Amino acid sequence: MPIIRVQMWEGRTQAQKAELARVITEAVVTIAHTTPESTIVIFEDIAKSNWAASGILASEAR
């Protein structure tokens, strides 16, 4: 059973997540030869204050 974790900044709408889950599932089914029922997509919304790149918090980046 494929489990796909999507980590991204918070702020996406439910509609955006639903569309993303749909196309990710379609791609996994096509490429990995599995079924939609056995494909799990987990969204992790992360606050910009909890995400840093190059030593700078995303919430402080310009």
> What does the pLDDT read at residue 53?
93
What does the DSSP 8-state code read for residue 37? G
pLDDT tens digits along 4-53: 999 999 999 999 999 999 999 999 999 999 999 999 999 999 999 999 99
> What does the pLDDT read at residue 62?
80
Sorted by where each begins, the domain ranges of the chain are 3-57
Q: Any idea which architecture 3-57 has in CATH?
A: 2-Layer Sandwich (3.30)
> What does the pLDDT read at residue 61?
87
Question: In terms of Cα–Cα distance, which of 53, 46, 49, 40 is closest to 5?
Answer: 40
Stated pTM of the model: 0.86
